[in-house]
Structure formats: structure tokens, C-alpha cells
A and B are shown apart, each in its own frame.
Chain A
Amino acid sequence: MTEPFLSIRKLRKAFGAFTAVHDVTLDIPKGEFLTFLGPSGSGKSTTLYAIAGFQDPTSGDVLLQGKSLLSVPSHKRNIGMVFQRYTLFPHLSVAENVAFPLRVRRRPDAEVKRKVADMLALVRLESFAERLPGALSGGQQQRVALARALAYDPPILLMDEPLSALDKKLREEIQTEIRRIHRETGVTILYVTHDQEEALHLSDRIALFRDGRIEQIGTGEDLYLRPATDFVAGFIGNSNFLAAEHLETVNGAATVRLGDGSLISGINANGSFQRGQKARLMIRPEAFRLDQGSTGAELAVEIVDVAFYGERRRIVARTGAGQEIDIRPTSATLATQDVETRHRPVFFDPGAAFLFPA
């Protein structure tokens, strides 16, 4: 078996009685864009800091191409990093900031010059070379930070919520830049964020953290379409959870009874359930169909509110059991008369619905 490029082995970090990271194990192939996603305090940043060398793990190991990084001090790890806050050196020009890692490595002047020009071209800030960081916008500063982190061709680039201080429009713009730069440089990126849209937009794979453990790791599609737990389903995208009672499971397809007494079959069962066990049925808001001739499982609802959001409508409906659900059909497939009837059935594919333990 070949060595994984970067390997995190049973990494554990405890602060006194509180354990921030529980035995996280992870292999990252070269060139991958892997995102650590999770709510704050889930251990994603702590894991990243252990790789950067800012925090010594309590136990476990971090291996780069088979060699442990733990005994290597930060300044010799040869890792690039972009931080949440702007960390450019305020007394140095943009060009000197990018040149800094090369200067401390005592590279020849000609090489420094060439590399700085390349990097500023990469982040499209050639004309800002002589400015001081204070004269740049937040988005520009983070692009300079990116250029600085990549200037010495590090094998790994760490990014700790680099866009969280920026407004939404700028965020999306720089996300696109980051994707392009990842494509052009082929650098392995570990990216930390609590923003699921950002994670889905950027990553090859996402590791979803919860309470210091990886809840699920996979592509964005894996996590969205095949969530392993109700936490994943709730964190990635929008979800409706209906209270249900499990009746039987045959070949992974479950039959449940909902609160209003109706029966639904063919649901993806996550885990094994007892007969009569309380469970939660997860259905994505956009999985519901209201248009004429829809098929699939049927759910009787009362339409409470309909709002038009351009490409989608948002419908608030109440089930027979009195639970409010969120329905988001595309406007293109829905005619006005479809939502005029207050009491009516909505349809969904039970194969796209998941059953989780309550």
C-alpha cells in the first residue's frame, strides 16, 4: 500500500477536562481540497492548528509523506496558511509581504522578484505591489495572504475561515478565485469553515465535525444526498424531520407510520430499528412535488403560507399531526393553481427520504 500524502492518526487534543478533538483519523491524498466543516467548538480549528504546529496534540500523530510533523517547529514545517483575521505585516508593502517567506529562506533576489511577480499575478493584484496592506480592502488583503502562503510552494495550504470577515458577494468572488488557484497550482488544501455552502462550493471532500469527532466524510453529494446521521442531514442543506414510528425494514427499505396514521414504505433506513421504535423521517424541502401527475409517497398537508422567491417558492405547510414543514418546489414546475387548494396531498420519492433514530 502506498503512503497517503498527509495522514492524521488518532489525533486527540484535551484542554484540562475538556476534550476538543477525539481520536480523529484521516488520510488526505495529494492535491485534494478537503474542508473541515462544523459548528464552532467542534474541533475543526484545533485539528488544523495541530497540523500547523500551534497546538501540541495530547496524543496521536500527523504524518506528511510518512514523516511525523509533530517534532518539527512551525517555522520548519513548510506549510502555508491563510488566517481568519488579516495577518499581513502592516509595515511591509504587498510585494514585501509576499517576498517575506522567500527572504527568510535567503533565496536569491532574482528568484524572489520573479516569484513575487508570479504570485501577485496568480491572485491578480500586480498593480498593488507597492501598496501597504492598510490601503487594501479585506478581500484584497486575504488574496495577498494567499499569495504569501503559496510563495514558497508549500505542499499543504491551511485555510482557517479565511472569508468569514468578508461580505457575501466578496466571499463568493474569492471562493471562485480559490477554486481557480487550487486548479492552477494543484496544492493540497485543508480548509476550515462553518459555512456549509462554502464547503459545498469549494471542496473535493468534506469532513463534517461534531463535538471533536468526524461525523461523516465524503463528497458534498455524499453528505447531502446520503447523510449518515440526522446531524449531517440537519447541518448540510435544509431538512424537514417528521416524527415517525418504525414498523419494519426489508433490505434497507423501511416502512413507517406517521403521526397522522398514514403509512409510508421504501424509505432509506440508517441503522437498524425495532418494531415500534420512535424515529425521525428526514425529507429535503426541494424533494416535495406538488404539480399535477406527481407520484411517490403521499403526505396530506394544509398549506399555511406561500412565498415567491424567484427560482423557488417557499411553502409552509402543516401535516396532519400538526408539524410545520418547509417545502421548496422550483417555480418552473409549479403552476399557481397547484397551491391554491388549502388541504391537499404533497408527494415525495421515499428513496430520497431517510430514517434516523429519534
Chain B
Amino acid sequence: MSVEAQQGIASKRIPAGLGGLLPALTLIGLFFVVPVLALLLRSVTDPAPGLQNYAALLGDGTYARVFFNTFLVAAVVTIVTVLVAFPVAWMLAIMPPALASVLFGIIILSMWTNLLTRTYAWMVLLQRTGVINRALMGAGIIDQPLPLINNLTGVTIGMVYIMLPFMILPLVGTLRAIDPMTLRAAALCGASPLAAFRRILLPLSLPGIAAGGLMVFVMSLGYFVTPALLGGTSNMMLAEMIAQMIQSLLNWGLGSAAAFILLVVTMALYALQIRLVGARRAAGGA
């Protein structure tokens, strides 16, 4: 086929394809690209043109603390989620399929339950006079109520609970691809259960942990409801700070700059995830 003919086909196809894509592109442009550009514009023009909003955010110790706290919470939530999700995912991966699908249903159902409802439920459970503290005191295990709410503990518990399905689902996929016979083989080779986990199961499940972990981390960075309800004022997260800047302080420029920084970090991490998942797929296909 000649070059001209190829170009002919290509030039005929692209406008036709674009025509079909136009409504979707308009939608994305109008409701995503334009607002983000407006946000960016606002962050460098409000109250006066320049980068002073970014300078204020990155130079001020208070804001730096919020950034640090956001990353700390996201990291703690991700680590705890991995630790809790792994045994659940392994159980789901090796149990009989019928039973596993029932448990999957329960997990998915919890995802569909309203986020606020679930977070308020945790408030009821975790507060000073909540079910958990009363049960522990009633059993004589503690004398004083544990500080479970309005601090990092509360945020971590509440967010881990919400993030679990996002970790379990990719992890189950990875774990299901591991033949349980491989672990029997490891045992007969002389590997104790711990050695088999460390040398075989963990390395083989790393792609799933990475995919789920990155997803949880990225989602946690921008989380608002749970930190706002279960967290304390001393460990505010970025999303809360943005809400405060815009709603209480009416400082749109500063809020926009903070939101834009969050967006850039999130996008960077998302790009990293795509690279990792893409690399895994490529390795699996070879």
C-alpha cells in the first residue's frame, strides 16, 4: 500500500472519529479542563497576579504542617489498610468460590452504603461514651475512656474501613493468580510458613499491593468527610484546609493554589500507578 493511500484512509477516519467524540470531549472540556484552568488562573491572580499564594503555602510552617499531616495520614492509612486487607484477600483467594462471592458481596455492599452514614456510625462507636469505650470499661480492661476520636487514631480507623475494598479487590486478583501448590512446594523444600510468606507469597503479591496501595494513598490524600468528622483540629488535612480557606476565610486564591498542588501530586502518583500497572501487564504478557 502506498503512503498516499494510508494517509487517505487516515485523513478520512480522524474527522469521522472526532465527530463521534465531540460530545464527550465537550463534556470533559467544559466540566473538567475549563474549571481546572480557572482554578489555576485564580491561584495566580487572586488577590493580585503572581505566585504569592504558592509562596505563602510552601513557605509557611502552618501550611507545611497540614501538607505533612496529609501525607502522614495517607501513609498510615495505606499501611494499615495493606496489613488488614492482606489476610482478608488471601482468605478470599483460597476459599471455595461460592463462599468467596458471598463475602465479596458483603464487601461491595459496604462500599455502596452512604459514606456519611458509615462515618457517623464510627463516631457513635468511637466517642468517649461510645460502644467500644463502654464495652472495654465494662469489661474492666480500662479505667479511662480511650481517646479514639478527634485524633489520628479516629481518622485512621474510619478511613481504613472505607479504603479496605479498594485494597482487597486488586489484591485478590493478584493472589488468585498464585497457585497454592507453589506454597506446598515451598513447604516441602523446607520453608517454614513464615519463610514461605516472606520469600514466595509476599514477592508474588507485590504488584497487587502496589496497585491497591497507590490507589488508597491517592484517594486518602484528598479525603474530606472522614478526616473532618473523625479527626481533630490539630491534625487537619489538606482537603479540610481548602474548605476552610474558601468557606470561612473566603481566600479563593490561596484555596485554589492548595487545591492545585493537591491535584498535581495526585496526578503524579496516578501516573506512577499507571506506569507500575502497565509494566506489570507487560511482564505478564511476555
Contact = CB atoms under 8 A, between A and B. Distances in A.
A63 to B, nearest CB: 19
Contact of A91 (B184, B187, B203, B286): B203
A149 B187 CA distance: 11
Contact of B181 (A53, A85, A134): A85
Contact of A78 (B179, B190, B204): B190
Contacts of A145: 185
A104 B188 contact: no
B275 interface: no
Contacts of B132: none
B200 interface: yes
Given A83-B181, A85-B181, A87-B184, A100 B189 contact: yes
Contact of A83 (B185, B191, B192, B286): B185
B182 interface: yes
Interface string A51-79: 01110000000000000000001111111
A152 B188 CA distance: 11
Contacts of B199: 89, 100, 103-104
A100 B204 contact: no
Which secondary structure characterizes the binding site on chain B? helix
Given A85-B179, A87-B182, A104-B195, A74 B200 contact: no
Contacts of B179: 85, 87
B177 to A, nearest CB: 9
B184 A101 contact: no
B115 to A, nearest CB: 38
Given A100-B199, A104-B195, A89 B182 contact: yes
Interface residues of A, number: 29
A244 interface: no
B190 A104 contact: yes
B1 to A, nearest CB: 36
A301 to B, nearest CB: 51
Interface of B: 179, 181-182, 184-193, 195-196, 199-200, 203-204, 286
A290 to B, nearest CB: 51
A75 B184 CA distance: 9
A83 B286 CA distance: 25
A90 B199 CA distance: 12
A80 B190 CA distance: 9
A90 B188 contact: no
A155 B200 CA distance: 25
Nearest 3 interchain pairs by C-beta: A101-B189, A87-B185, A74-B187
A76 B192 CA distance: 8
Given A87-B181, A89-B182, A89-B186, A104 B204 contact: no
13 contacts: A52-B184, A53-B188, A74-B188, A75-B191, A75-B192, A80-B188, A81-B188, A83-B181, A83-B184, A100-B189, A104-B190, A134-B286, A148-B189
A105 interface: yes
Contacts of B195: 75, 104
B190 A105 contact: yes
Nearest to A103: B199
Given A75-B196, A81-B185, A104-B199, 11 more contacts: A53-B188, A74-B188, A75-B190, A79-B188, A85-B179, A87-B181, A87-B185, A90-B204, A100-B191, A104-B192, A148-B185
B286 to A, nearest CB: 8
A104 B189 contact: yes
B184 A89 contact: no
Contacts of B182: 87-90
